[in-house]
């Protein structure tokens, strides 16, 4: 059961401004049957571009209906310029908050409003299909995802799904969404939680892999500097080596061990690997 606020329940059970305006000056449409929710917003616009009346028709869950209802209440009396500044956050706040999985319902409200304003101003009626489709299942573009991340300070793929639906079905676009978050926020990509963890390695597999990496990658690298390495033992994830040649007595041999040998084995074999020297 969702935890809906009293405001959400009230607007759902007794929605305001349901229906259509026959001689509407602007109509905004968003969503589709296949996506599970859709909203059509009708506006009557008077002098000074002031919204005199607003009505809606919504196909969707309780929070979609509540978001539509509260949106019509909010924008009545606003000028179009003022209405254009209404964000999905404002809609959610007016409802006392929405469950995070339902934030996309408030986004739908904002999008329908924008569509209606574009419609009134005679701009491109359809939502400008700018950008490339990232989520094929729900047809969400990178532009939309970027905006949701910026406006709502989103940091994880899950949050992006909650706000835009992107990534909510097959999950193929999760990596791409993570990249977009990283670009917007200018930081490293958040980890995409993968349910398909690798099966744990057997001891034999681990030994073979460690031996291969040392022989093919690490030894050749050390040899360039006149050094060498010998694999002494592998006990579980603990790898024991001995540094030879020019490495012996080199003041930076400890750094070589940690930065080159251990880091490389962690990257290629298993994160749990530790390396010690004898």
Partner 1 sequence: MTPIYFDNNATTMVAPEVRDAIIPLLNDEYGNPSSMHNLGERSGRLLAEARGKVATALGCSPDEIIFTSCGTEGDNTAIHSALQSHPEKKHFITTKVEHPAVLNVANHLERSGYDVTYLGVDNLGRLDLDELRAAIRPDTALISVMYANNETGVVFPIKEIAEIAREHGVPVHTDAVQAVGKIDINLAELPVDYLVFSGHKIHAPKGVGVLFVRRTAQFRPFLLGGHQERGRRGGTENLPGIVGLGKAIELAKAGIEEENTRVRAMRDRLEKGLMDAIPDAIVNGDPENRLPNTLSIAFKYIEGEAMLLMMNQFGICASSGSACTSGSLEPSHVLRAMGIPFTFSHGSLRFSLSVYNTEEEVDTVLKELPPIIERLRAMSPFREGDEGLDWVEKHSHD
- 96 interacts with partner 1 by CB under 8 A: no
Whether 105 is catalytic: yes
Residue matched to tokens 């929710």: 37
Shortest distance, position 162 Cβ to partner 1, whole Å:
9
Element containing residue 128 per DSSP (H, E): none
- 62 interacts with partner 1 by CB under 8 A: yes
- 26 interacts with partner 1 by CB under 8 A: no
Touching partner 1, residues 241-260 (CB under 8 A):
none
**CA 248 to chain CA mean position, Å:** 49
Member of 45, 58, 117, 227 binding partner 1 (CB under 8 A) = 58
Whole-angstrom Cα distance, residue 205 to residue 211?
10
- 169 interacts with partner 1 by CB under 8 A: yes
Touching partner 1, residues 182-201 (CB under 8 A):
195-197, 199
Whether 135 is catalytic: no
Touching partner 1, residues 131-150 (CB under 8 A):
137-138
Q: What is the largest CA-CA distance in the chain?
A: 89
Query: What are the E-state strand segments in 36-188?
Result: 37-45, 51-59, 133-135, 140-141
Residue 98: closest CA among 124, 68, 118, 138:
68
Member of 21, 24, 26, 39 binding partner 1 (CB under 8 A) = 39
Whole-angstrom Cα distance, residue 63 to residue 37?
10
Instruction: Count the site residues for partner 1 by CB under 8 A.
Output: 36
Q: Which residues are catalytic?
A: 35, 105
């Amino acid at each position: 059961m969702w935890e809906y606020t009293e405001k959400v329940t009230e607007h759902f059970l007794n929605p305001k401004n349901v229906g259509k305006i026959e001689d509407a000056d602007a109509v905004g449409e968003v969503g589709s049957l296949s996506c599970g929710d859709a909203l059509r917003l009708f506006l009557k616009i008077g002098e000074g571009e002031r919204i005199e009346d607003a009505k809606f028709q919504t196909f969707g869950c309780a929070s979609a209906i509540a978001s539509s209802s509260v949106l019509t209440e909010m924008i009545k009396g606003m000028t179009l310029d003022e209405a254009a500044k209404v964000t999905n956050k404002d809609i959610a706040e007016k409802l006392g908050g929405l469950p995070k999985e339902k934030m996309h319902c408030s986004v739908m409200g904002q999008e329908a409003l924008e569509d209606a304003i574009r419609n009134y101003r005679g701009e491109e009626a359809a939502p400008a299909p700018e950008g490339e489709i990232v989520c094929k299942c729900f047809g969400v573009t990178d532009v939309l995802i970027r905006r949701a991340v910026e406006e709502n300070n989103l940091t994880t793929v899950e949050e992006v799904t909650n706000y835009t639906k992107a990534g909510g079905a097959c999950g193929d676009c999760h990596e791409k969404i993570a990249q977009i978050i990283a670009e917007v926020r200018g930081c490293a990509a958040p980890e995409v939680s993968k349910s398909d963890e690798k099966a744990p390695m057997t001891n034999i597999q681990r030994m073979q892999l460690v031996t291969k990496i040392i022989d093919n990658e690490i030894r050749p690298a050390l040899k360039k500097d006149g050094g060498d390495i010998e694999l002494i033992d592998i006990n579980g994830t603990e790898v024991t080596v001995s540094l030879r040649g020019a490495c012996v007595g080199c003041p930076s041999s400890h750094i070589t061990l940690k930065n080159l040998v251990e880091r490389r084995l962690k990257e290629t074999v298993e994160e749990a690997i530790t390396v010690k020297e004898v």
